Structure 1
Amino acid sequence: MSFNPLEHRGIPLDRQVRNWSELDVRPVDPDTTDPYTKCRIITMNGIEVEAVLFSHQLSRFCPDMDVKRKLAEVRYVEQQQQKAVNWLLPGQASVLETTISYEQVAVDLTAWIARMEPDPYLRQAYEFGVLEDFDHLYRYSNLYEMIEHRRAEKILGGLTEVMPGRPALVEHRHPADNVRDPYDRNTAEFVSKLHALTLVASEQQTMNFYMNTGPLYMEPIARQLYQEIAMIEEEHVTHYGSLIDPGETWWERLVNHEYNECYLYHSFMETETDPRVKALWELHLDMELAHLHIACDLMRQYDGRDPESVVALEMPKPVTFEPNKDYLRHLLATQVDLTTIGAGYVQEAHERFERMQDAVMGGRKPPSERVIDEHREEFGGEYRDLTEGPHPVEELREPIPL
């Protein structure tokens, strides 16, 4: 059924503030909850964090005090939404268990968006990035078994495979080679803008999560692995963020943010399997519809444009968490050896890439390789999910020499 968010006013803003008892949501059960429910929670947390950060940036550059006050009012509700969403995560889950769910989000959300992306250049950017997140899931799964002596499949529910992707060792590129060409805001399909914004928010949240939780571990290899992968997540935020046309006005960006929140809450409301969580998605959608109309009014007033000329009048196909095993195996078999140069992609290691590798490695293996070595020493082999047959790139079974 088609859904045009501009036709629905939602809950008026002055009725959206909730008290503490309403925000004190009961967390999901880490043992019985659908892994993709946790993925939707993590995704929406990242989306709400991005909405708040963007609102702060807009407010700092906006001289109009009335607009600043309106943004602050909406932002307060966005903060409440973020708290209600993120506090659904179970307190008894360890940081590593939550990390594995974060990487499941990165793998299956990025893979789905890549499959749905109509623009070939943008699709290539997403296919490139997902192979690196796929590898991060593999590295953290090895660490999880070493530290907590548990298997990642229990968290992943068998929905996402655990095997090497593009090795983290070769993910350390010169910063200039992480900057992509942006889409053209005048010709890009609106769904492409939503895809880019969604992945920027998701990778930004993952980057921040690793930046803040990594030093909480005592084990040296854990601290080091989080440090390394957090640096790669910075590359990903640059990679996806540069895809957004910098020519979009502040008001256009505000409308895109609010529309994207409506789109994702509507998508997850349509696909959620947990009735209690689904009710929260529905409530937040009703709130975001009002936020979208406020953004549209600001765009009309300060940009002199009709939002209907910018956004889609019918929401795209709902964003869906689902297994992407065959698709990822195809990418592994065809794109695992890619790196970047300028705004494009090459198979050969070039001089700037090699200089960066020398500078970062310092003559020794990075934590992402040492965690595999330590796992082999402790368990006699590396962590691998063998339920789906042999790895499509067999040479990745061997340790990477320096």
Structure 2
Amino acid sequence: MTFNPLEQRGIPLDRQLRTWRELDVEPIDPDHCDPYTRCRIITMNGIETEAVMFSHQFARHCPDPEVKRQLAQVRYIEQQQQKAVNWLLPGLASVLETTIAYEQVAVDLTAWIARSEPDPYLKQAYEFGVLEDFDHLYRYANLYEMIEHRKADTIVEGLTEVMPGRPTKFHHRHPEDNVRDPYDRAAASPLSKLHALTVMSAEQQTMNFYMNVGPQYMEPIARQLYQEIALVEEEHVTHYESLVDPGETWWEQLVNHEYNECYLYHSFMEQEPDPRVKAIWELHLNMELEHLRIACELMRRHDGREPQEILAPELPPVLTFEPNHGVIRDLLDTQIDLTTLGAGYVRDAHERFQRLQEQIHGGEEPPSERVMAQHREQFGGEYRWQPSGEHPDAASRERKE
């Protein structure tokens, strides 16, 4: 059944404010929940956080006090939504358990978007990034077993493989080579715009999470690994945010943000098996329909355009969390040795890449390699999970010199 959010009426804004009791949501049970329920929660936390931060940036650049007041009203509700969503995560889960779930999001969300992206250049950007998130999952899984003596498959439950991707030590590139070419806002598919905004928001939330939780560990190797991967997440946010056309007006961006929230809440409501969490997705969708209506009115009034000029006439097929074993393995076979040069991709290590590698590693092995060495010393090998069969160890493939 098609769903056009522009034709739907949501909850009036003055009825969206929730009490403390309503915001005090019961968290999921980490030992019995669907792993993808946790992934949907983490994704929507990133989406709501981006909505709030975008609204703040818009307000700081907006001279119209009436618009600033309108943004503030909607933003307060978005803040409540973010609290309800993020507080679904259980307090008894450790930081590392949540980290592994964050990387499961990065792998399966980005892989699904890469499969669904109609633009070949944007598709390549997502395929490139997902192999790096895949390796981060592998490194954190080994750290998890070292520190907490538990296996990452108790969290991802076989839905996402745990094995080497593009080695993290090769993720460190010159900042210039993290900037991609943007899509053309006048020609890009509406779906491409939603994809770019979704992955950017998710990676941004991951970057912020690692920036803040990394120093909470006492173990030196844990502090160091979070520091290294947090820097890679900076590269990823640059990589994905540069895909968005900077020529989009503030009003256009506001409408895209609200439309994307409708799309994702609708997608997750359609597939959520937990009835209590599904009710939150449905409630927030009905709130976002009103936020979208307000954004469209602001666009008409201040940009002089109809939202239909930039939006799809109906929501795309639902975004789905599902296993991507075959997709990832195909990328490991064909793209493991890629790096970036300018706005493109190359297989050979170029001078700028090698210079940055020498500068940041300082002739030593980075934390992502040392955590593996410590795991091998402690357990006699590396931790990985595959459903069956063997696959070539991607970590053993060295980049061409």
Q: TM-score, normalised by structure 1?
A: 0.98
Measure how far apart 1:157 and its partner are.
1.1
Is the contact made by 1:299 and 1:307 (CA closer than 8 Å) also made in structure 2? Answer: yes
Q: Give 3-state SS (helix, strand or coil) of 1:10's partner.
A: coil
Alignment of structure 1 residues 109-124 onto 2, 5 Å: 109-124=109-124
Counterparts of 2:98 and 2:394, CA distance in 1: 30
Match of residue 183 from structure 2: 183
- Runs (4+) of structure 1 exceeding 2 A deviation are 393-400
Alignment of structure 1 residues 30-179 onto 2, 5 Å: 30-179=30-179
Measure how far apart 1:394 and its partner are.
3.3
**Letter of the aligned partner of 1:266 in structure 2?**
H
User: Gaps spanning 5+ residues in structure 2: where?
Assistant: none
Q: Assess, with a 3 A threshold, how the Cα gap between structure 1 residues 395 and 40 changes in structure 2: closer, same or farther.
A: closer
Measure how far apart 1:305 and its partner are.
0.2
Measure how far apart 1:385 and its partner are.
1.2
Is the contact made by 2:108 and 2:321 (CA closer than 8 Å) also made in structure 1? Answer: yes
Q: Which shows bigger deviation, 306-315 or 281-290? A: 306-315
Counterparts of 2:389 and 2:68, CA distance in 1: 56
Is the contact made by 2:203 and 2:236 (CA closer than 8 Å) also made in structure 1? Answer: yes
Counterparts of 2:397 and 2:308, CA distance in 1: 54
Match of residue 268 from structure 1: 268
Q: Give 3-state SS (helix, strand or coil) of 1:102's partner.
A: helix
**Letter of the aligned partner of 1:262 in structure 2?**
C
Q: Give 3-state SS (helix, strand or coil) of 1:161's partner.
A: coil
Counterparts of 1:398 and 1:177, CA distance in 2: 22
Match of residue 366 from structure 2: 366
Percent of aligned positions with the same letter in both sequences? 74
Measure how far apart 1:399 and its partner are.
9.6
Measure how far apart 1:395 and its partner are.
5.5
Measure how far apart 1:148 and its partner are.
0.2
Counterparts of 2:365 and 2:343, CA distance in 1: 28
Match of residue 278 from structure 2: 278
Is the contact made by 1:10 and 1:289 (CA closer than 8 Å) also made in structure 2? Answer: yes
Counterparts of 1:71 and 1:180, CA distance in 2: 30
Is the contact made by 1:4 and 1:313 (CA closer than 8 Å) also made in structure 2? Answer: yes
Deviation per residue, 1:337-380 (Å, 9 max, x gap): 00000000000000000010011001100000000000000000
Is the contact made by 1:369 and 1:399 (CA closer than 8 Å) also made in structure 2? Answer: no
Match of residue 308 from structure 1: 308
Measure how far apart 1:396 and its partner are.
2.5
Counterparts of 1:160 and 1:352, CA distance in 2: 34
Counterparts of 1:298 and 1:398, CA distance in 2: 53
Is the contact made by 2:332 and 2:394 (CA closer than 8 Å) also made in structure 1? Answer: no
**Letter of the aligned partner of 1:208 in structure 2?**
N
Is the contact made by 2:101 and 2:155 (CA closer than 8 Å) also made in structure 1? Answer: yes
Counterparts of 2:398 and 2:82, CA distance in 1: 41
**Letter of the aligned partner of 2:299 in structure 1?**
M
Match of residue 244 from structure 2: 244
Match status 1:322 vs 2:344: no
Match of residue 378 from structure 1: 378
Is the contact made by 1:182 and 1:242 (CA closer than 8 Å) also made in structure 2? Answer: yes
Number of positions where the alignment pairs a residue of Structure 1 with one of Structure 2: 400
Counterparts of 1:196 and 1:379, CA distance in 2: 40
Deviation per residue, 1:2-46 (Å, 9 max, x gap): 000000120000000000000000000000000000000000000
Measure how far apart 1:398 and its partner are.
7.9
Is the contact made by 2:336 and 2:394 (CA closer than 8 Å) also made in structure 1? Answer: no
Counterparts of 1:9 and 1:308, CA distance in 2: 16
Counterparts of 1:87 and 1:364, CA distance in 2: 40
Is the contact made by 2:164 and 2:393 (CA closer than 8 Å) also made in structure 1? Answer: no
Match of residue 24 from structure 1: 24
